[in-house]
Structure 1
């Protein structure tokens, strides 16, 4: 299934996509669709159940600025990354690693969004000026 949308791109971005499409002998729309698909990481469906950070109370936002992976997940992630680095990762572990990396990346994005919201609300000072 596909959804058709209309977007406005800066001229320079469209021209780059157009040149690339010509080089690849493909349609610009196809190049842009592939680029978007590859650049947006997958997000677990249960993430949609989370309340937007902008709707949270100050205390909840501040709590999210300290968000970390569960210790057992963090330890397993480190172990799997070490196994991957040494070349001893089996297929089941590769899938587990992908899942843990997704959890890590989603948490990191949520934490960064909470930090931004906390600064915007004046709850904390900007990390750097």
Structure 2
């Protein structure tokens, strides 16, 4: 299933997409769909149930600015990443088992979603004057 939308692109972006589409012998719409698909990471269903940071109380926003991954998840993510780095350093093939790869993808998604939520909270806290902007 597909949803049709209408967007307004800056002329420069449209021209870049048009030139790339011509070079790739494809239509602009397929180029834009592929670009969007590759640029927006998947988001878990749990995150869509969260309230927007902009409507949270000052206290809730400040709590989110301190958001960190659960220590067990953080340790497991670190362990998996160290294992990948060691294998690459030794130039071993088969860097991860399928189970490890799935776990790594899941933990990376948790990490990225948390980081995005924290960054949004930091931006909101600065907007509200709750914290000073970083220089």
TM-score by length of 1: 0.97
After TM superposition, give the deviation of residue 86 of structure 1 in Å. Answer: 2.3
TM-score by length of 2: 0.93
- Partner SS state of residue 2, structure 1: coil
Deviations 1:52-93 (A, max 9, x none): 111111000000000000000000000011112223421110
Q: Which runs of 4+ in 1 moved over 6 A?
A: none
Alignment RMSD (CA, Å): 0.7
Task: Tell me which residue corresponds to 1:108.
Answer: 115
**Alignment partners' CA distance in 2, 1:51 and 1:73:** 23
Is 1:23 aligned with 2:23? Answer: yes
Q: Which 5+ residue runs of structure 1 have no aligned equivalent?
A: none
Task: Tell me which residue corresponds to 2:90.
Answer: none
**Alignment partners' CA distance in 1, 2:18 and 2:85:** 38
Task: Tell me which residue corresponds to 2:92.
Answer: none
Is 1:4 aligned with 2:11? Answer: no
1:22-61 matches, within 5 Å, as: 22-61=22-61
Q: Which 5+ residue runs of structure 2 have no aligned equivalent?
A: 88-94
